[in-house]
Amino acid sequence: MSNPATEYSLQIDHANVGFGPPNARTEVLSDINLSVTRNEFVAIIGFSGSGKSTLMNLLAGLQPADTGEVRMNGEVVNEPGPSRGILFQNYSLLPWLSVFGNIELAVKQVFPEMDSSARKAHIQHYIDMVSLKGAEWKRPGELSGGMRQRLSLARTLSMRPEVLLLDEPLSALDALTRANLQDEIIRIWEEDRRTVVMITNDVDEAVLMADRIVALTPGPKATLGQSFDVKLDRPRDRTTLNFNDSFKRLRNEVTEYLTAINKEAQRLRVVDDVALPDLAPKELSTF
Amino acid sequence: MSESKLERFKYGLLKAVDVSGFKVLDPLIRLIFREEPRKQSINILKFMITPIVFVLCCFWVWNVVAPRHKTNSGEVPKPAQVWDAAITNQILHTRENEKEEDFEISGQARLARIENLKGRLESATERSKQLKADLEDIQTQATLEQQKQLAPLTAKAEALKTANNEAQQSRASAAKTMSAQVASGKAQVDELLTLLRESNSLKESEKDAEQNLKDELKLLSEKPSVVQQAQVASNAAANEVQHLKKRLDYLTTGNRSVKVEKAVVTTTAALKKLDVAKTSAQILSAAKSVVSGEEKANRISEQSYPRRETIWFQVQRSLFTVFIGFIMAACVAIPVGIMCGLNKIVMACLTPIISIFKPVSPVVWLLIFQIVVGAFFLPDPNSYWLFEFCDALPFIKDLGVNPALIFSACTVAMCAVWPALVNTALGVSSIDQDHLNVARVLKLGLWARLFKIVIPSALPLVFAGLRISLGVGWMVLIAAEALSSSSGLGKYVWDEYQNGASQSFANIIFACFLVGIIGFFLDRLMILLQRSVSFDDGTAVV
């Protein structure tokens, strides 16, 4: 751990990502720098459309950086792999496989040396972990949204990833299910700590779950802004947290900061609307 | 406990009708289980009774319109006649079955059957005689009645004819006189012309009156329906007698065991002769007849009944042909479609070929296959390995696989390959990006990606394509069989068209319904398969 490069579990170094042909290029992410220490829970918070999912794909290796690089344990990441388990926003479950089958596909691929009884126990362990016991042979189509995301989580965890990437995992769920799953993810993480990068658009969620919150400025040319350390004791209890002063202060700080950068961005946004001619409808009653 | 069981049974039934595409029955099942009877009754009225009434209306229109249209092949048959045709076909089939059994039966059972048949033949002959006598009675009575009705009309026609003739003659003589007067200057030419014109128009109207009367006579002198019915009954009885005689024939002299026994008897006689033979010539001839007798016995014992091709045989053969063609199409379409869906270059290469050959008519393909594929079977198609192989297989040997069947199957395959190919390519290329991301994160290899992600995800569309393919194949098959005269429903229709017997037209329409109904069930079968592989809760298009 003396090498400063390997001190961090995950690093983004001056990364830029853009789309489109050279003459009409849209820079989505520009000059992204992020260092995540081992077993840290980082929440990246930003407005919709600011390039959060692109950032996540960059971390996962699904999207290469145009310039700059992403490093994991000091090694450059240039393709996706099971060591960075990603939890997709829209679950990405295979609808023709059962709950068990979906996890089995991942486990078979990542741990080919496992014999069948060990594999079965391994899969069952993760199914139990996300409280899907009893639904092993159901297909994703028969599950509720919350259950689907649980399954997706179980599949990701079953690969025993070093780093867990959560791409707005709870944004498609209703408030109650969401709170439930937040607690569950925190519980699982506390039982078996690992590096987590979560993308979210919910300040409360970020404050509740993360060790550190990093803001993503509104795009285009989104970059990472201020970073807030969350120094609340764990385990955090959502019912008492609402009366906690430092929680409230931090939440307000983050919200104010986000509002400020959003206003700034709107002010800076170049207005290139087509100028409309100054016309008024004719008064028809005069005819 | 039994309540919930009943409930489960009900939902199982509902699911079954849904999956098999008979959703129409849904309200009926719910009504039987007393679920909201009012609502179900309304639904039944709307979606079951109304269509049934509509279809019955169509039948009624058919019944009314058909006899009014005279064609070269006689009247357009009415529904009842088509039904009769169906029954006749069924009778032919059962009779073939009976004769086949008679041919193959042996021993005590054969003798018992002969006794039984003799009795039946007697009563059938009696009945036939009775019906024939009845027919004659009815005929004479009908003729008498007809003559009674016709007599005044005939007299009237005669009278009209003579009157007209007289009128014509008088007009002709008037014209003659007039022309003489014109010649002598007593009358104008115009007057003569007017007279001739009038005479001609009168002649026309007189002819028309005669024709009308003649038509009326013709209509009355047609066979009355009573006679026709009696004739049909008498013919049926005569047919039955014929059939029973034929059966007796197959039970006695035509029976396989009898024939074999006969051959064995000659062989034993020849063997005895061989024992007592002295001269070399005698020995040789006796030995020859022993050998030939043995051969004959062997040959006969392997013989099977020469069946006539009944309608169910044609159906079986058509289904077999379409199945072969469909399998060929699927074997090409699915792999090629997957390649097209995976690789844009392959797709670009195949697009021109698909676009150009897709609209080509099956008739053209049939002719091309007859030439191209036919060349493989030369010089002697019968000894080609494929046909010898097929003749050795059980069941399939009865269908008589021949080059014509292969040509038809190839044509089916050629026309059925396109929908399956295009749909497979579409299914593979439209795979969800999320699923591909999963494959990338898991670092699945090419084969794992293909078999674990791509193919399962494309399967519903692949089956949708196969379903269209089977429909196209079945449609094409009938034309191909008709043209290549490969036994099957297509050839059946074509033969009936060429044959021109009294029931041919009805047989064609019967075949039309049969083709439609079989096609319908094939489609339902494919829906069932499609539903069983679709993972999105059976929302596939019906």
pLDDT of the residue at B450: 92
Which of A89, A60, A208 is closest to A148 using CA atoms? A89
Q: Flag whether pLDDT at A149 surpasses 50.
A: yes
Angstrom distance (rounded) from CA B112 to CA B116: 6
Q: Flag whether pLDDT at B87 surpasses 90.
A: yes
Helix, strand, or coil here: B45? helix
Q: What residues in A contact B533, CB-CB < 8 Å?
A: 96
Neighbours of A83 (CB within 10 A): 16
Interface test with B, best of A56, A79, A89, A105 (most B CBs within 10 A): A105
Residue B103 · residue B305 · CB < 8 Å:
yes
Interface test with B, best of A58, A84, A94 (most B CBs within 10 A): A94
Angstrom distance (rounded) from CA B220 to CA B6: 65
CA distance to partner chain B, nearest, from residue A114 (Å): 16
For chain B, what percent of residues have pLDDT higher than 70?
A: 98
Angstrom distance (rounded) from CA A219 to CA B83: 75
- In which band, very low, low, confident or very high, does the pLDDT at B304 lie, cut at 50, 70 and 90? confident
Q: What residues in B contact A94, CB-CB < 8 Å?
A: 435, 438, 452-453, 456-457
Residue A113 · residue A58 · CB < 8 Å:
no
pLDDT of the residue at B334: 96
Q: Flag whether pLDDT at B359 surpasses 90.
A: yes
- In which band, very low, low, confident or very high, does the pLDDT at A41 lie, cut at 50, 70 and 90? very high
Q: Which DSSP letter does residue A85 get? A: E
CA distance to partner chain B, nearest, from residue A175 (Å): 25
- In which band, very low, low, confident or very high, does the pLDDT at B493 lie, cut at 50, 70 and 90? very high
Q: Flag whether pLDDT at B357 surpasses 50.
A: yes
Q: Flag whether pLDDT at B325 surpasses 60.
A: yes
- In which band, very low, low, confident or very high, does the pLDDT at B187 lie, cut at 50, 70 and 90? confident
pLDDT tens for residues B365-405?
Answer: 999 999 999 999 888 888 888 888 888 888 888 888 889 99
Partner-chain contact B442 A141, CB within 8 Å: no
pLDDT tens for residues B224-242?
Answer: 778 888 888 898 899 999 9
- In which band, very low, low, confident or very high, does the pLDDT at B282 lie, cut at 50, 70 and 90? confident
Q: Does B450 contact chain A (CB < 8 Å)?
A: no
Q: What residues in A contact B537, CB-CB < 8 Å?
A: 141
- In which band, very low, low, confident or very high, does the pLDDT at B254 lie, cut at 50, 70 and 90? confident
Q: Which residue of A has its CA nearest to B453?
A: A94
- Kind and range of the H or E element at A72? strand A67-72
Angstrom distance (rounded) from CA A12 to CA A58: 9
Residue A181 · residue A151 · CB < 8 Å:
no
Q: Flag whether pLDDT at B496 surpasses 70.
A: yes
pTM across the whole model: 0.80
Partner-chain contact B438 A60, CB within 8 Å: no
For chain B, what percent of residues have pLDDT higher than 90?
A: 45
Residue A153 · residue A198 · CB < 8 Å:
no
Interface test with A, best of B441, B442, B463, B534 (most A CBs within 10 A): B441
Partner-chain contact A82 B444, CB within 8 Å: no
- In which band, very low, low, confident or very high, does the pLDDT at A174 lie, cut at 50, 70 and 90? confident
Q: Of the segments A84-98, A212-226, B312-326, which one has the largest average pLDDT value?
A: B312-326
Neighbours of A107 (CB within 10 A): 23
Task: Give the mean pLDDT of B114-122.
Answer: 91
pLDDT of the residue at B244: 92
Q: Does B302 contact chain A (CB < 8 Å)?
A: no
pLDDT tens for residues B503-519?
Answer: 889 999 999 999 999 99
CA distance to partner chain A, nearest, from residue B438 (Å): 7
pLDDT of the residue at A5: 47
User: Which two tokens mark A27?
Assistant: 């820079």
pLDDT of the residue at B147: 84
What value does the CA radius of gyration of chain A take, rounded to a whole number of Å?
22
- In which band, very low, low, confident or very high, does the pLDDT at B122 lie, cut at 50, 70 and 90? very high
Q: Which residue of B has its CA nearest to A152?
A: B438
Partner-chain contact B437 A92, CB within 8 Å: yes
| Mean pLDDT score of chain A | 85
Partner-chain contact A86 B459, CB within 8 Å: no
Task: Give the mean pLDDT of A135-150.
Answer: 88
Q: Does B539 contact chain A (CB < 8 Å)?
A: no
| Mean pLDDT score of chain B | 89
Q: What residues in A contact B435, CB-CB < 8 Å?
A: 92, 94
Q: Residue A14: CB partners within 8 Å, gap ≥ 6?
A: A31, A32, A33, A67, A68, A69
Which of B435, B441, B536 shows the shortest C-beta gap to A86?
B441
Angstrom distance (rounded) from CA B528 to CA B542: 11
Q: Flag whether pLDDT at B50 surpasses 50.
A: yes
Least confident of B326-340, B352-366, B386-400: B386-400
CA distance to partner chain B, nearest, from residue A49 (Å): 19
User: Which two tokens mark B107?
Assistant: 């021993």
Partner-chain contact A96 B457, CB within 8 Å: yes
Long-range contacts (CB closer than 8 Å, 24 or more residues apart) made by A130-136: A130/A154, A130/A157, A130/A184, A130/A188, A131/A184, A132/A99, A135/A99, A136/A98, A136/A99, A136/A100
Q: What residues in A contact B441, CB-CB < 8 Å?
A: 60, 62, 80-82, 84-86
Q: Flag whether pLDDT at A1 surpasses 50.
A: no
pLDDT of the residue at A265: 77
pLDDT of the residue at B136: 92
Which of A60, A84, A141 shows the shortest C-beta gap to B535?
A141
- For chain A, the residues whose C-beta falls within 8 A of a C-beta of chain B are 60, 62, 79-82, 84-86, 88, 90-92, 94-97, 105-106, 109-110, 139, 141, 159
- Kind and range of the H or E element at A73? none
Residue B325 · residue B408 · CB < 8 Å:
yes
Q: Which residue of B has its CA nearest to A89?
A: B434
A–B CB contacts, 8 A cutoff, strictly below: 54
Q: What residues in A contact B453, CB-CB < 8 Å?
A: 94
AA letter at B219:
L
Q: Does B443 contact chain A (CB < 8 Å)?
A: yes
Partner-chain contact B441 A139, CB within 8 Å: no
Q: Flag whether pLDDT at B463 surpasses 90.
A: yes
- In which band, very low, low, confident or very high, does the pLDDT at B539 lie, cut at 50, 70 and 90? very low
Q: What residues in A contact B440, CB-CB < 8 Å?
A: 62, 79-80
Helix, strand, or coil here: B463? helix
Displacement of CA B190 from its chain's centroid (Å): 68
Q: Flag whether pLDDT at B430 surpasses 50.
A: yes
Helix, strand, or coil here: B71? strand
Task: Give the mean pLDDT of B244-261.
Answer: 89
pLDDT tens for residues A87-127?
Answer: 888 888 998 899 999 999 999 999 999 999 999 999 999 99
- In which band, very low, low, confident or very high, does the pLDDT at B542 lie, cut at 50, 70 and 90? very low
For chain A, what percent of residues have pLDDT higher than 90?
A: 19
Partner-chain contact A109 B456, CB within 8 Å: no
